[in-house]
Amino acid sequence: MNNLIWKIKTFNELSTKEFHEILKARINVFIVEQTCPYPELDGYDQEAVHLWAEIEGDVVAYCRLFDSGIKYKEASIGRVLTNQNYRKRNLGRTLLRFAINTVESRFRTSSIRISAQNYLLPFYREFGFVEVGETYLEDDIPHTEMKRD
């Protein structure tokens, strides 16, 4: 893919433009596309490591990474997205491989917990995640916690 650039930064390393583009991508996918009004700014961005791919400044894939003890007892990955215009290009798979590798190297753990939208359970199973709880509604969308050791 032409001009695809991967970036990883802590909150304090992000420029205001980068954070703006990240928020724009998250709002476009999780609020606009999924028609799900919810509090996007949840107070966790400051504690996250942000991993994303961009093309000409547009965020095309993104996720947040957390060390153990922040969101869950285990390390975690969240806000996983691929820009609607860049789907079917395996960016999500590349993103998740990078995310898992980053958690393992940066946080020195292979124990990762996620809260997955149910339609994505097969996708996460490809990476060794298994369901560890019952389905629950989060912002009116069915989710299941999954764990990878």
Q: What is the pLDDT of residue 34?
A: 87
Element (H, E) at 9: strand 4-10
* Interval 128-143 mean pLDDT: 91
**Does residue 118 carry a pLDDT above 80?**
yes
**Does residue 4 carry a pLDDT above 80?**
yes
Q: What is the pLDDT of residue 135?
A: 94
Q: What is the pLDDT of residue 1?
A: 58
Q: What is the pLDDT of residue 93?
A: 95
Residue 95: which region, alpha, beta or left (left: phi > 0; alpha: psi -120 to 50)? alpha
The answer to whether 17 and 64 have CB atoms below 8 angstroms apart is: no
Rounded CA-CA distance 123/126 in Å is 5
Q: What is the pLDDT of residue 40?
A: 86
**Backbone dihedral angles phi then psi of residue 2, each to the nearest 5 degrees:** -65, 135
**Does residue 35 carry a pLDDT above 90?**
no
What tens digit of pLDDT does each residue of 49-69 get?
999 999 998 999 999 999 999
* Interval 76-99 mean pLDDT: 94
Strand 130-131 with 141-148, pairing: antiparallel
Q: How confident is the model at residue 138 (pLDDT cuts 50, 70, 90)?
A: confident
